[in-house]
Structure 1
Amino acid sequence: MAEPSVPVKKAARTFDLQAMMNQARLGAQERSNIDWTNEIEKTKEENELRITEMKIKADEASKKIQSSTNNNNINDGDDDDDFGPSIDLATAPTNDNEDTSSDDEDEDTSKPVEEDNDRLDDDEQPFFPLTHEIDLKHGTKSVSCLTIDSNGERLISGGFDYELKMWDFPTMDKTLKYYRAISPCESHQLRSIEFSPGSDMLLIASGSCQAKVISRDGKNMYECVRGDMYLIDMQKTKGHVSTLNRACWNPKDLNEFMTCSDDGTVRLWSLIRRTEHASCIKTKSEQGKKTSTTTCTYNTYHTHVTQNEYLITAGCDDGSIQIWDRRRPFVNVTFISRHAHEPENSITSLCWSYDGRNLASRSTDHTLKLWDIRNFKKSLSEYNDLHNRFSMTNVTFSPDDRFLITGTSTRKKTNENINDSTNVGAIYFFNRNNLAQPEGQIQVSDAASVVKTLWHPKLNQIMCTTSNGIIKIFYDTIRSKQGALLFANREERQKKANDFFINMNIINPHALPLYRQDRVRNLSVIRMKNREDPVCKSFFCFLQR
């Protein structure tokens, strides 16, 4: 027989704590003796070498792409792959109907492809993505507002036809059809539309006194309350009592937005607080009277943290720019320029630079000015010949913060300027350091004004709206990304032969006249119907005898 196995007892493992402490102490001493400065310098040098190698490879790849595109453009000049005509940046306004028959004018206006490529490679020269364009048809009336989400996938437009239209770039094709059209404010003209910082909501300011917040797909989410128009003190009303002019989101607080109105107030709202506004700021003229507020903006779009991040800026119809600090009571203004623009000329747009140092203003006195609030009495630079007759005309900075763009309006045609070639709607480009002379311009339409302009930083595409219901998108096939490039060459989806629906009527046998049964009605109603029938009436009289 096998002997039974004796269980082996497992002894607990012992640790020499003193030896472990000595070993850890020696390791710490060795690490302290290492010269970490040399190690950091070595890693920096390695990273710099990697970056330079990546830049060299990227430059070589871009040169190869440009050379291939040049060969394709030279060999296939009439190719239809690029959607939209090629456009050259002009330094003077052009007229479509003007005859350019002389050889000298052709030599001045035409530029060879090699010069354009040299201009693209030179980073010091200004570059504007204007080689191609696409027209989106919003309607027949003026398109007064335009916005696009942060990813550049959905464009929203609104106009004087009370309609808001959504353009979904990833699903569009060459037919250029919009995704959805709604009328969020019924019979009120849309004056301002802006995506929230998270691109999940839309803020709408219309001709009414109540701003609205809708979802990305057009569902109502929030509506500001209406104020009491019979109260004299606007501070005591719960909301606006006059037409709204502008509405914008707070980029840092996702639940807060700001509106301004003709009632002379700037109001801060919270999505959590639905009964009344969160704060109210009253704008006053030089005489201390109420003045209408035509535009407003936050100063939190900059990338650098400065003292200007808490400022709220408003422009008034008396030509003044007023700025408040949120850390102080809104009783008195922090910065003010009473004569920023001509009196009795409203300020249509205010835009802070991305670094938060300069403020650009646009007004109906046909000027564009650049300001520094450290010396707010006089503008840094200005340009005077930019006709503007729309209260929604804006100004915006380029993504690299080097340039400003704005649109111009056409003048009313008279016998004197009927043949004026400069009376066109155009986009002007200005250097931020000097507005005395524009860097260039491009004609958008010879019969319509440019209202809104937009330069998306991610797509590197310029978009503008006109007074004849057209939305223009300018882009470059090399420097631009996505956006219009997604649907510019996308063919329309072919409909299959079986892809249709036959509307077949379902006939219920009991619904036919022969099998129809009258519903039970009141006896008095039946007698009234019988009296109207001559056959039943005679039979009814016979029964009464």
Structure 2
Amino acid sequence: MSDIPVASEVPDEEEEALQKFLGTTSFGKQTKGAEVNNRFEQSKRSQPVISQGDKKTKRDEDDDDDSDESDEEDECPVSHEMVFKTHDRAVTSITLDASGGRLVTGSSDCTLKFHDFASLTPSTIRAFKSVDPSSVKGSASSETHPVQHVEFNPIAPSTMLAITAHPQPRILDRNGETIAEFVKGDMYLRDMHHTKGHISEVTCGVWHPQDRNICATGGTDSTVRIWDINNPRQQKTVIVHKSRAAGSAGRTRITALSWAATAQSNLLVAAALDGSLVMWDANGPYTRPAAEIRDAHKKDTWTSGLQLSSTGQLVITRGGDNTIKLWDTRKFKTPLRTVDFPSISDQYPTSNICFSPRGTELLTGSANGDLHILNSATLRSELVTPITPGSAIISVYWHKELNQIITGSANGETHVLYNPNLSQGGAKTVMLKAPKRRHIDDDPNLTMDLSHGIGGDAVILPGGSAPSAASFAARHPTIGLTASGKSRDPRRPHIPNTTPFAKSNADAAYIKEHIPLSGMREEDPREALLKYADKAKNDPLFTNAWATTQPKTIYADLSDEEEDGPDKKKAKR
């Protein structure tokens, strides 16, 4: 027995290195709960949560601080996150349908990205469709415009309002297909009441909260236009905002819109570049506003954030003068609260501020990438957490049904914040799924590009200069497509492959068989008309009635020898 060798104990360092190499996956049957908890743990945010109200800067100061901040985290779903990296530029607008199943984001890269939570897995977090809302189907024009605003219809989630930096907003369906395009007005008319649509760039828009067919848009032509999507050829109502600022000639730019309707009130509020805040009774008439504040914010500053509360009693504005103000619609003269908050509207005009589903909190982003949750009564920061450090947060959205917060940043990332205990569906549903298993052939770096074939004298060496996709891409960084289907050269659009049928002209037989009336090209037009001369004379179709109603014309009989006709009288001199 003494000759049997005894296995030596593995040192702790070697055991840790072996465990790191093998990973955390263990053999045998795994419980589903353990896998789900592991995925939740992987999506847990590592960024600290800073409570400004209590002057706390660290999560681990003491046990009391940890318990207080954990309570704040439980109130707001910010403990876990899921990240979309589907845009190339800043995310300017975010919207979800009423059920929270589909997420649509707009960006300054002139595209809308469509995401379905039901089809996503932890390893396949990507958009299933990309749409350019400013392009015209069937047109050869390549003109594109940045997305200003996109919003699902709160009553009919099958439609959405898409606004780009263009005079014509559009109504899209859930899949991004254009349902209606609003008409463009006549830019040569001075009176905006007589134009049928916007004559310049549209900056903002909003749906009617109770009517699925009505929406409103505001533009740089100093008008707010109310549309019926069933009649896109002319607006239903045009509201002309007459600016009273000196030197504006009565015109200004509408920067933000908000609409709230309850049993007691129906209000439409707009903010303008001249610093004014205007409120109308949405039931009409619109000849004059119900209330107007001329100096709500500083003149010539872009008020990007504006929203009415669900009750229609409070209005929150975030102006370009580095202030956030709270207003009461029942006493629409002076703000209830005013706090200083750095603005990013000069660089990102679509930065917004919104109420939480409960109406007790406000949500907005900052230039350094922090998410701020403010108290709606005091406008004090209750919760501040970094989302994209170094990149400004432009758009924020708090979904009621999902109880999840979605943010869009200047670096093109979309973050979905959630809490496994408080949130329902959305990102939580994605994390509950098992990651999609990938085959080794799905990686283009490990496969060969055989589209051009391999020469007979080619020598394929592992890791050498083989004609693989990776080596070809390394030698030609601007040729071909990436694994995601995008062009490697950002300046060059994708050009479809040229087929053999497009390289040569079609032969005569093909033209004769497939092109109607192609044989008329070889026919003499004079002979083709003379074939019907006798038929037109004997059986006139259009002049048959003239044979009995018109008199016969009498002509003088002249011979061919007479050149000048009958003798003419000499002119008297």
Q: Shorter-chain TM-score: which interval?
A: 0.5 to 0.7
Aligned positions of 1:247-266 closer than 5 A: 247-266=205-224
Q: What whole-Å deviation, never above 9, does each CA across 1:397-448 have from its counterpart, x for those lacking one?
A: 1111111111122xxxxxxxxxxxxxx121111111212x311211122221
Give the superposition deviation at 1:521: 9.7
Kept in 1: contact 2:73–2:79 (CA 8 A): no
Q: What secondary structure, in the 3-state scheme, does the structure 2 residue paired with 1:487 have?
A: helix
**Aligned match of 1:181:** 130
TM-score (normalised: structure 2):
0.65
The partner residue of 1:469 within 377, 398, 412 is 412
Q: What secondary structure, in the 3-state scheme, does the structure 1 residue paired with 2:325 have?
A: strand
The partner residue of 1:137 within 67, 72, 85 is 85
Cα 1:105–1:406 change in 2 (3 A) is closer
1:399 aligns with 2:357: yes
Kept in 2: contact 1:453–1:465 (CA 8 A): yes
1:89 aligns with 2:35: no
Cα 1:478–1:225 change in 2 (3 A) is same
State how far apart, in whole Å, the 1-side matches of 2:385 and 2:44 are: 14
Number of equivalent positions: 399
Match for 1:315: what amino acid? Answer: A
Match for 2:325: what amino acid? Answer: K
Kept in 2: contact 1:136–1:470 (CA 8 A): yes
Q: What secondary structure, in the 3-state scheme, does the structure 2 residue paired with 1:405 have?
A: strand
**Aligned match of 2:389:** 446
Give the superposition deviation at 1:375: 2.0
Match for 2:315: what amino acid? Answer: L
The partner residue of 1:365 within 291, 313, 321 is 321
Match for 1:347: what amino acid? Answer: T
**Aligned match of 1:433:** 377
State how far apart, in whole Å, the 1-side matches of 2:258 and 2:302 are: 15
Kept in 2: contact 1:256–1:269 (CA 8 A): yes
Kept in 2: contact 1:195–1:202 (CA 8 A): yes
Cα 1:274–1:442 change in 2 (3 A) is same
Cα 1:262–1:110 change in 2 (3 A) is farther
Q: Percent identity?
A: 27
State how far apart, in whole Å, the 2-side matches of 1:205 and 1:263 are: 15
Match for 2:319: what amino acid? Answer: S
State how far apart, in whole Å, the 2-side matches of 1:161 and 1:111 are: 46
**Aligned match of 2:197:** 239
Give the superposition deviation at 1:112: 7.8
Cα 1:170–1:109 change in 2 (3 A) is farther
Cα 1:120–1:277 change in 2 (3 A) is closer
State how far apart, in whole Å, the 1-side matches of 2:77 and 2:349 are: 27
The answer to which structure has the higher helix fraction is 1
Q: What whole-Å deviation, never above 9, does each CA across 1:275-320 have from its counterpart, x for those lacking one?
A: 21110001122247111111112122x5xx22x32x2111101111
Give the superposition deviation at 1:117: 5.8
State how far apart, in whole Å, the 1-side matches of 2:392 and 2:319 are: 15
1:296 aligns with 2:249: no
The partner residue of 2:344 within 369, 385, 388 is 388
The partner residue of 1:206 within 144, 161, 164 is 164
1:191 aligns with 2:109: no
Kept in 1: contact 2:49–2:59 (CA 8 A): no
State how far apart, in whole Å, the 2-side matches of 1:402 and 1:521 are: 72
Give the superposition deviation at 1:519: 5.9
State how far apart, in whole Å, the 2-side matches of 1:165 and 1:194 are: 13
**Aligned match of 1:108:** 61
Give the superposition deviation at 1:92: 5.2
State how far apart, in whole Å, the 2-side matches of 1:465 and 1:521 are: 54
Q: What whole-Å deviation, never above 9, does each CA across 1:339-362 have from its counterpart, x for those lacking one?
A: 111111121121111222111111
**Aligned match of 1:14:** none
The runs of 5 or more residues in structure 1 that have no matched partner are: 1-74, 94-103, 122-126, 410-423, 505-510, 512-516, 523-545
Cα 1:81–1:193 change in 2 (3 A) is closer
Aligned positions of 1:533-544 closer than 5 A: none
Kept in 1: contact 2:312–2:329 (CA 8 A): no
Kept in 2: contact 1:313–1:324 (CA 8 A): yes
**Aligned match of 1:283:** 241
**Aligned match of 1:170:** 118
The partner residue of 1:342 within 294, 298, 314 is 298
State how far apart, in whole Å, the 1-side matches of 2:440 and 2:349 are: 51
Cα 1:254–1:109 change in 2 (3 A) is farther
State how far apart, in whole Å, the 2-side matches of 1:166 and 1:482 are: 17
Give the superposition deviation at 1:233: 0.9
Give the superposition deviation at 1:249: 1.1
State how far apart, in whole Å, the 2-side matches of 1:441 and 1:498 are: 44
Give the superposition deviation at 1:326: 3.1
Cα 1:119–1:320 change in 2 (3 A) is closer
**Aligned match of 2:552:** none
Q: What secondary structure, in the 3-state scheme, does the structure 2 residue paired with 1:485 have?
A: helix
Aligned positions of 1:71-90 closer than 5 A: 79-86=38-45, 87-90=47-50
Q: What whole-Å deviation, never above 9, does each CA across 1:465-503 have from its counterpart, x for those lacking one?
A: 00110001111110111110011242333368999xxx9
**Aligned match of 2:427:** 484
**Aligned match of 1:269:** 227
State how far apart, in whole Å, the 1-side matches of 2:271 and 2:39 are: 47
State how far apart, in whole Å, the 1-side matches of 2:372 and 2:510 are: 76
Kept in 2: contact 1:255–1:272 (CA 8 A): yes
TM-score (normalised: structure 1):
0.68
Kept in 2: contact 1:363–1:388 (CA 8 A): no
Cα 1:518–1:379 change in 2 (3 A) is closer
Match for 2:49: what amino acid? Answer: L
The partner residue of 2:436 within 488, 493, 504 is 493
Q: What secondary structure, in the 3-state scheme, does the structure 2 residue paired with 1:281 have?
A: strand
Kept in 2: contact 1:138–1:157 (CA 8 A): no
Match for 2:377: what amino acid? Answer: N
Match for 2:51: what amino acid? Answer: T
Kept in 1: contact 2:366–2:393 (CA 8 A): yes
State how far apart, in whole Å, the 1-side matches of 2:148 and 2:427 are: 25
